[in-house]
Amino acid sequence: MSLTGEIALVTGASRGIGQAIALALGSQGATVVGTATTDNGASGVTRLLTERGIKGHGEILNVADNESVDALFSRLGTDTLFPTILVNNAGMTRDNLLSRMKEEEWDSVINTNLTSLYRMCRVCARSMSKARKGRIINITSIVGATGNPGQTNYCAAKAGIVGFTKALAREVGARGVTVNAVAPGLIDTDLVAKLSPQQREMIINQIPLGRIGYAEDVAAAVVYLASPGATYVTGETLHVNGGMYMG
């Protein structure tokens, strides 16, 4: 499982699932570049990696902005830190019933959660194909497969990630680049912490493994897909949901 010598770029790495992924990849020897949308967030990523003895640092990135993406890759190219592993984790929600949803709420979620993959992967797929080596891992969601009321924008974006993943996997496979997705179920993040005990119990009753997942569960799946052990796995979506959804 060693990732020594690899350079992992993880978007949305300042907290939650992204942070767990950054730490897990770093613990296996990868140099980690973790992104956040603010100076404080990027500094926090650098500080955490240093505290854990992981090579790497934080960078500012807005995945919804072309100029921000271009600037990041320009900096990484200059510092010879061009990624061999790309994890597209950054995302957002703007929940509303479709009948009440503003066009801006739709556009912002699609742009941040789906169009960002076009921006990030277009650059990385080119460099990885040239090197004939690379791993692209896209974080989707259980709701991309099941749907969820009040989240038509989010569900559409997450379902789109699955199709994007399959198409890109076919495009770059002959160049030794794999492209996969990880679909978390209900994970113990800030959002889940706001649920009442009754809500948590109701949800847990729907999960065969009888518990809410942890960010580290998702990170372990990402590490596997980034590892030499997953060389022959591409175009797949790995569901990490305790059996809540079985596709």
Question: Can you tell me the distance from the alpha carbon of 182 to that of 189, in angstroms, rounded to the nearest whole number?
Answer: 16
Pair 108, 100: CB distance under 8 Å = no
Pair 35, 90: CB distance under 8 Å = yes
Residue 154 among the catalytic residues: yes
Nearest to 212 by CA among 244, 187, 240, 190: 187
Element (H, E) at 164: helix 152-172
Written as one letter, the residue type at 180 is N
Q: What is the DSSP letter of 115?
A: I
Question: Can you tell me the distance from the alpha carbon of 47 to that of 27, in angstroms, rounded to the nearest whole number?
Answer: 15
User: Which of 118, 154, 224, 245 is the catalytic position?
Assistant: 154
Provide the annotated active-site residues.
154
